[in-house]
């Protein structure tokens, strides 16, 4: 028995389901973000701020992933968006089949943006494609500027990096240049945003970028250009 | 082929190796801590502060676990303690066999305290016994007060909780009572310490407790009392 073989089979199976999810998203015209970070970096807070910013422009739905509790789904539901909570019961990441099951409880018609908030974990979710258009990784300033070097896979696979909690910079030892430089050394294609959910700083820039991505992706998909 | 079965076999195998590690630690009279937390909660900083505090009283060795880099081992080596870095190359937690291999590069004779700093991950390391005497979980105030509810396994299996970065409390929304109450609801036996590695607050209390645990454990083990 080889653990590596089993793991490869799990990942292959996951990729098959992810491809079916991706086809469904394309068919429905839904742009999908897989939001990943350590526990407590501010995924839900960034999502709340983003909802405030984009809700008048695009129709949004949310899938929440957590090891336990539906606390995050409760927070997001206050914004009157459709939300489904996946509780993994100890599982350390979302897999494509969990998202597929959640989709059966979510009416995607008319939805233009689906945000999947992954389990708080900077390691495991990097390996599991959910069928999303892009991964967005959040790192908070309080976690220290060495995180991209220590957890490179997530930064390599992400399209955007949100550096959150920049309002705390005066009170901590964290060099933004160092943090962002480390991330860009891992992945020079990363789009970097600096945000604070306490003050709202940077949320407009990030939201503008994501709205633009939705627009160009929809336009490309509608004429059959691979994205 | 059942994934669950494979996983159980992996855990059983891990427990066997952990039992052998534990027997070795007992034979050598070494007290062992498995230090766990999210990325960036301050495991290495707490360890540095603890080394300053206890180094004159007990002889310490360190095993560092990271997905990539030996940055943490470099930090700890400055304290002139023996340190071995385990790089998991993508692995999301330490397993007993990795610790066993690291032990072959560490001279335990005369060592009274071995600190194993696990990979930054609040989920997966909870499932893997390394042979340690106790798990200590760190959560930082910036991660929010709901973390014990959302990641309960780690808090259930830990003997002590260090709430770190309390110096940032004036600048963030985090209620210590709520955070600690949530943790104690999961595990009423938890010993709770509040620390700041920026100011050094609380490090003395935590260090005193751990020195006392080493003393009582060594006394009990030397007369054959199970601990």
What number is the average pLDDT over the span B56-80?
A: 96
**How would you write the pLDDT of chain A (227 residues) with one tens digit per residue?**
334 456 677 788 999 999 999 999 999 999 999 999 999 999 999 999 999 999 999 999 999 999 999 999 999 999 999 999 999 999 999 999 999 999 999 999 999 999 999 999 999 999 999 999 999 999 999 999 999 999 999 999 999 999 999 999 999 999 999 999 999 999 999 999 999 999 999 999 999 999 999 999 988 887 666 55
Instruction: Give, rounded to a whole angstrom, the gap between the first and last alpha carbons of chain A.
Output: 39
A-chain residues near B122 (CB < 8 A): 38-39, 120-121
CB B128 within 8 A of CB A92: no
Nearest chain B alpha carbon to A124: B92
Work out how many domains chain A is built from and give that number. Answer: 1
Asked whether residue A143 is domain-assigned, the answer is yes
What number is the average pLDDT over the span B90-102?
A: 96
Answer yes or no: is pLDDT of B83 > 90: yes
Asked whether residue B227 is domain-assigned, the answer is no
Smallest Cβ–Cβ distance between B67 and the set A1, A68, A150 belongs to A150
Q: CB–CB of B123 and A122 under 8 A?
A: no
B-chain residues near A90 (CB < 8 A): 123, 153
Q: CB–CB of B151 and A68 under 8 A?
A: yes
The boundaries of the domain holding residue B176 are 3-222
Pairing type for strands B31-37 and A60-66 reads unpaired
Answer yes or no: is pLDDT of B218 > 90: no
Report the C-alpha gap between A151 and A143 in whole angstroms: 12
Asked whether residue A227 is domain-assigned, the answer is no
Report the C-alpha gap between B121 and A109 in whole angstroms: 37
Task: State residue B3's pLDDT score.
Answer: 47
Chain A residues interacting with chain B (CB cutoff of 8 angstroms) = 1, 3, 6, 9-10, 38-40, 66-69, 71, 90, 92, 119-124, 139-140, 142-144, 146-147, 149-153, 165, 167-168, 171-173, 198
Answer yes or no: is pLDDT of B227 > 60: no
- For A33-77, what is each residue's pLDDT tens digit? 999 999 999 999 999 999 999 999 999 999 999 999 999 999 999
Distance of CA B147 to the CA centre of its chain: 17
B-chain residues near A68 (CB < 8 A): 149-152
| Alpha helices (runs of H) in chain A, residue ranges in sequence order | 3-28, 43-54, 71-77, 96-103, 147-150, 152-157, 176-186, 203-222
Pairing type for strands B31-37 and B134-140 reads parallel
* CATH at residue B27: 3.40.50.300
What crossing angle do the helices spanning A3-28 and B3-28 adopt, rounded to 10°?
130
Select the more confidently predicted residue: A223 or B221.
Answer: B221
- For B107-164, what is each residue's pLDDT tens digit? 999 999 999 999 999 999 999 999 999 999 999 999 999 999 999 999 999 999 999 9
Which residues are bridge partners to B63 per DSSP? B84, B116
Answer yes or no: is pLDDT of B2 > 50: no
Residue spans of beta strands (DSSP E) within B54-194: 60-66, 83-87, 113-117, 134-140, 160-164, 191-194
Q: CB–CB of A39 and B38 under 8 A?
A: yes
Nearest chain B alpha carbon to A65: B150
Question: Which tokens go with A157?
Answer: 């696979």
- What is the CA angle B209-B124-B29, rounded to 5? 40
Report the C-alpha gap between B197 and B167 in whole angstroms: 9
Asked whether residue B205 is domain-assigned, the answer is yes
What is the residue-averaged pLDDT of chain B? 94
Question: Which tokens go with A54?
Answer: 């984009």
| DSSP letters spanning A46-102 | HHHHHHHHHTTTS-EEEEEEESS-SHHHHHHHTTT--EEEEE-TT-SS--HHHHHHH
What number is the average pLDDT over the span B59-81?
A: 96
């Amino acid at each position: 028995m080889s653990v590596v073989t089993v793991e490869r089979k799990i990942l292959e199976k996951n990729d098959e389901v992810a491809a079916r999810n991706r086809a469904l998203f394309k068919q429905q015209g839904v742009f999908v973000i897989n939001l990943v970070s350590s526990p407590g970096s501010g995924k839900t807070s960034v999502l709340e701020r983003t909802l405030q910013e984009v809700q008048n422009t695009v129709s949004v739905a949310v899938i929440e992933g957590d090891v336990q509790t539906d606390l995050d789904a409760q927070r997001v539901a206050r914004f009157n968006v459709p939300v489904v909570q996946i509780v993994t019961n100890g599982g350390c990441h979302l897999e494509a089949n969990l998202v597929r099951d959640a989709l059966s409880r979510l009416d995607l018609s008319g939805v233009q943006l689906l945000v999947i908030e992954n389990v708080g974990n900077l390691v495991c979710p990097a390996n599991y494609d959910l069928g999303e258009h892009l991964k967005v990784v959040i790192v908070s300033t309080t976690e220290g500027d060495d995180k991209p070097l220590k957890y490179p896979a997530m930064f390599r696979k992400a399209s955007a990096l949100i550096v959150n909690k920049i309002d705390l910079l005066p009170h901590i030892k964290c060099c933004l240049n160092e943090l962002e430089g480390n991330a860009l050394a891992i992945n020079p294609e990363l789009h970097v945003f600096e945000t604070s959910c306490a003050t709202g700083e940077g949320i407009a820039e990030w939201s503008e970028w994501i709205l633009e991505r939705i627009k160009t992706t929809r336009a490309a998909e509608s004429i059959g250009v691979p994205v």
